[in-house]
Amino acid sequence: MRMKHIWWMVVGVLVLGAALWGPIVSNVEQPKYEVVESDDSIEIRDYAPMIVAEAEISGERDKAISEGFRTVADYIFGNNSSAQKVSMTAPVTQQASEKIPMTAPVTQQGDGYTWQVRFVMPASYTMETLPKPKNPAVKLKEIEAKRFAVIRFSGMAGEESLKRRTDELKEFIRARNLNPLSAPTYAFYNPPWTLPFLRRNEVMLEIAR
């Protein structure tokens, strides 16, 4: 009986460790931004310029984020010109590659999208000091300062959840007569083994200043 009790204590510790590991490893450098306005789970943020490593992946969204993550992670883990590891940052972002007119709806047609999956590079790097990717599928890009409306939520970021949060964000933007400038960007801050209630997910829409 005593051994069984010890066994369950060990299992409990392991489960708790696995639950906390996601948030712990997600405590990494994040892009710099200033909150301009806050309304419950929605914020308007001004982001500083940044450099991203990006891969364009075709296909369904959930498969594209997995493939894109592996492709860009391969670059930061050392598949680059100097075999140098680049520190992991958060979040990993995903956006449909098409640009849309600021008043047009976002629509899907055909068998799938082409998605831009991005890792933000640590702020200590410049385009000159970052190691060059060996994989031609990975591109380094400079992103100018931008303003975003952002909605934050926890849980599993499935298609239904992302659509619901995107609709909420669009309604917020419409109610304030703001001008959206891009398709939604999905931002994921935690590794896949993080428990749903500890996850941080966001939908971001660039808006005019």
What CATH code is carried by the domain that includes residue 184?
3.30.200
- Domain end, chosen from 117, 143, 169, is at 143
Residue 6: what are its φ and ψ, rounded to 5°? -65, -40
Same domain for 118 and 59, yes or no, is yes
% of the chain surpassing 70 pLDDT: 80
Structural domain count of the chain? 2
Q: pLDDT tens digits, residue range 161-207?
A: 999 999 999 999 999 999 999 899 999 998 878 888 889 999 999 99
Residue 110 scores a pLDDT above 60: no
Q: Check residue 22 and give its pLDDT.
A: 45
Please give the model's pTM, rounded to 2 decimal places: 0.81
Residue 105 scores a pLDDT above 80: no
Contacts of 147 (CB under 8 A, 6+ apart): 36, 44, 45, 46, 47, 206, 207, 208, 209
Q: What is the domain range of residue 181?
A: 32-49+145-209
Residue 97 scores a pLDDT above 80: no
Same domain for 155 and 125, yes or no, is no
Q: pLDDT tens digits, residue range 32-54?
A: 999 999 999 999 999 999 999 99
- Domain end, chosen from 110, 143, 176, is at 143
> Which segments of the chain are extended strands (E)?
33-39, 42-47, 50-59, 92-96, 113-120, 138-143, 146-153, 185-188, 201-207
Confidence of residue 143 (pLDDT cuts 50, 70, 90): very high
Residue 14 scores a pLDDT above 90: no
Residue 190 lies in a domain: yes
Residue 15 lies in a domain: no
Residue 26 lies in a domain: no
Residue 7 scores a pLDDT above 70: no
Contacts of 2 (CB under 8 A, 6+ apart): none
Give the number of residues written for the chain: 209
Same domain for 64 and 44, yes or no, is no
> Which of 78-92, 104-118, 124-138, 185-199 is the most confident on average?
124-138
Same domain for 102 and 187, yes or no, is no
Same domain for 113 and 190, yes or no, is no
Same domain for 70 and 149, yes or no, is no
Q: Check residue 193 and give its pLDDT.
A: 80
What kind and span of H or E run contains 11?
helix 2-25
Residue 1 lies in a domain: no
Higher pLDDT among residues 186 and 18, named by residue: 186
Residue 104 scores a pLDDT above 70: no
Residue 8 scores a pLDDT above 70: no
Same domain for 115 and 153, yes or no, is no
Q: Are 113 and 68 in contact (CB under 8 A)?
A: no
